[in-house]
Structure 1
Amino acid sequence: MKIILTLFENVQCRLEKLKLNCISITDEGCAALASAFNSNLRELDLSRNQIRDSGVTEISSLLRNSQTLQILRLSDCSITEEGYKALSSALRSNPSHLIELDLTGNDPGQSGVKQLSDLLQDPNCQLKTLRFLGPAADEACQYVTGIVGKNPLLLRELNLSEHELGDTRVNQIAALLQDKHCQLNTLILYGCSITEKQCLILTSALKSNPSHLRELSLSGNQIKNTGVNHLCDVLKDSRCKLERLRLSECEMTDEGCSAVTSALKSNPSHLRELKLSRNKLGDSGVKHLSDLLMNTQCKLEKLDLYGCSITEKQCLILTSALKSNPSHLRELKLSWNQIKNTGVNHLCDVLKDSRCKLERLSLYDCGITDVSSLTQSLRNTKALQFLKELDLRCNMIGDSKQQLIDVLRDSNCKLSVDTHPSPEVPDRDPSPEDDKCCIS
């Protein structure tokens, strides 16, 4: 910390970004930072430090005086209503520079939410991204209810992951989605115990106003085939411009997977990411997914089929489809499917295609014992110029591992190969610092 302060105090210091997250900074450290503040600083990250309200008060004095700070991240800093009050007061006195404020993982209470909500109504406030709701799902939904019919234009991203919503909250979210002024871009509801009935309520609301949504996650909810069929009505709508769709762990069978991929086939040009992991695709699901991949309008960049019980035969169907339209795909995840050596050989046909620009390939625990054909394909094609990550963990590849080592020595190789048998990280939706509500 002393080194950083010394650097700050140097008049020649031109530091613009400072990240001090998770290094046990206290309120005293915040006071020292504020006093030594450098006028060139554009971004400050103090996340995951127990700075509490007293530390935030010190940072607030920095905000009152700064003419340059644009991004401030204070997630998981044990900040309560008092800290929110201090921040809001500082930003009201100097509102024109800060454009991003992250306060996720703190407990704002109702008054803290109100303080920041009122701040957004200030015509001089330039905040484009405000993340402020951590575990307080009730406050999030109260905020959502409060802006329906008033000023929902500010809300761009709503993430209530890992909170059981229940009927009341689902109806509150649906009311927001139906607001004609709502321009929500991102809706992430991972692991919210959403039922088939609640999925119908949400998708009916989305259908009335689908044109702004770009990212939707319903992963980790038991919406099953019935819920997915409701969603298909949104996907088929020509106004829908969804780019990222995540439906992992939704207890879908081949019926649901067939329905969603068929719906996407009728409106494929916008989708860039599709996540169907931990659902049982079955033969018909794989067939319909392949039809989507072969569509010349399909420009899918990320495809996640982790743990979908894909067989060697089904892998051939998928790779044949990919081979017909390989140029857009950048990331393919087939981990935890028993595609074995035969499936890998089919994948080689995709890698050999001169149009293939795959950057990440995940084959964790796929029953593979020989990667000779894979390494030969990488060595003799342009694939090696693009591929950056190859995950082969928990496969008994034996002597063929040496061939991978030889590939890594190639001067054109940018590849990072992981063969260490460490356990796979549990499948989970990515989210920006697990923020639960984001206003842009």
Structure 2
Amino acid sequence: MAAGSIQPHQAEILASAILSTPQWELFSISDNVIGTKGVQVILDAQKLSTVHILALSNTGMTSEILDFLISYLNEKKVSMLNISNNNLSCDEATQLRLAQAICAPGLLSLNIAETHIKFTENFVKLIRTNKIRLSFLDISGNEVESDAILALSDYLVDPSCVLNSLILKNCNISKRALSKLFGKLKTNTSLTYLNVLGNTAQKLDQKIIESIKGNRITRLD
């Protein structure tokens, strides 16, 4: 759906049309600010449909949708998910349930940038435990635990890691955590794009920058 083409009062009309479509390769209502109720009405109409790629960026969702969204994701097992630019701040227990629903086998791409979701060590553990073949991860603008970055660093050298793009803008990552991340890149063979802009410790020693030369990274911000 084109950005801004759906008004909140039109959500139920769109939901009726969705009921007649059994399968969606890509379903996007991004940049249509229809709010929690509007998103829920539309997704509820999709319960009998197959969805591979789901984009809900900047739709005005709030944490009130999380119980519904968790249930939806547990049923759908989408391969590409974008819920960025929505305020989904919630308690730790709900965040864990959301992480469990998101990190399902089959997930290939995840964008949770600017969602006020804390990226924790549990996220990384779920990615590894469920053997997810994740190729794209954007957690920009969220609170990120140092332990999560350390765990992510270890994941980068796991033979099962196929992460291609990693975006960590404005996450206030410590120099220690970034140093470990960069150090692990020496033996990573999958990552081609890394973005650490906006972190207070992003200007690292030249030694650390030199340490990743020669691997597959073609772009570093």
**TMscore range, shorter length:** 0.7 to 0.9
Q: Which whole-Å deviations, capped at 9, do the CAs of 1:184-238 have from their partners, x for residues lacking one?
A: xxxx23222520x31122122212x22242212111222222122213323431x
- 1:114-263 equivalences under 5 Å are 188-195=1-8, 197-207=9-19, 209-237=20-48, 240-263=49-72
Aligned in 2, Cα 1:340/1:290: closer, same or farther, shift over 3 Å? closer
Instruction: Assess, with a 3 A threshold, how the Cα gap between structure 1 residues 403 and 290 changes in structure 2: closer, same or farther.
Output: farther
184, 204, 210: which one aligns with 1:400: 204
* Equivalent position of 1:329 in the other structure: 134
Report the counterpart of residue 302 of structure 1 in structure 2.
Answer: 109
Q: What amino acid sits opposite 2:186 in the alignment?
A: R
Count of aligned pairs: 217
Are the aligned partners of 1:225 and 1:253 in contact in 2 as well (CA < 8 Å)? Answer: yes
For 2:200, give the aligned amino acid.
M
Amino acid at match of 1:418: L
Give the match's secondary structure for 2:169: coil
Q: Secondary structure at the match of 1:379?
A: coil
Of structures 1 and 2, the one with the larger relative CO (CA 8 A, separation 6+) is 2
For the residues of structure 2 that align with 1:339 and 1:203, how far apart are their CA atoms?
36
- SS at 2:76's partner residue? coil
Stretches of structure 2 that go unaligned for 5 or more consecutive residues are none
Cα distance in 1 between the residues matched to 2:139 and 2:11:
28
- After superposition, the C-alpha distances for 1:106-160 in whole angstroms (9 at most, x for unaligned) are xxxxxxxxxxxxxxxxxxxxxxxxxxxxxxxxxxxxxxxxxxxxxxxxxxxxxxx
- Aligned residues of 2:57 and 2:83 also touching (Cα < 8 A): yes
Identical-pair percentage: 24
Query: Are residue 373 (structure 1) and residue 185 (structure 2) matched?
Result: no
Q: Closer, same or farther in 2 for the Cα pair 1:264/1:401, shift >3 Å?
A: same
Deviation at 1:348, TM superposition (A): 2.1
Amino acid at match of 1:315: T
SS of equivalent to 1:202:
helix
1:332 aligned counterpart, secondary structure:
strand
- For the residues of structure 2 that align with 1:293 and 1:264, how far apart are their CA atoms? 7
How far residue 308 of structure 1 moved from its aligned partner, in angstroms, is 1.0
CA distance in 2, matches of 1:234, 1:216: 12
Counterpart amino acid of residue 323 in structure 1:
R
Q: Does 1:391 align with 2:204?
A: no
The aligned counterpart of 1:59 is none
- TM-aligned CA deviation for residue 335 of structure 1: 1.0
Contact 1:210 / 1:234 at 8 angstroms: preserved in 2? no
Q: 2-side partners of 1:194 and 1:285: how far apart?
A: 29
| Distance in 1, Cα, partners of 2:83 & 2:115 | 8
Query: Equivalent residue for 1:416?
Result: 218
Give the counterpart letter for 1:369 in structure 2.
Answer: S
Residues 1:231 and 1:318: Cα distance change in structure 2 (over 3 Å): farther
Change (3 A) 1:193 1:241: closer
More helix by share: 1
Task: Extract unaligned runs of 5+ from structure 1.
Answer: 1-187, 420-440
* 1:225-283 deviation line (CA, Å, top 9, x unaligned): 2122213323431xx22221111111212221332232121122xx2211100112233
Q: Using a 3 Å threshold, how does the CA distance of structure 1 residues 190 and 379 change in structure 2: closer, same or farther?
A: same
Kept in 1, the 8 Å contact 2:120–2:145? The answer is no
How large is the Cα RMSD of the aligned pairs? 2.3
> How far did 1:372 drift?
1.5
Q: Note the C-alpha offset of 1:325.
A: 2.2
SS in 1 for 2:87: coil
> How far apart, CA to CA, are the structure 2 residues paired with 1:418 and 1:377?
15
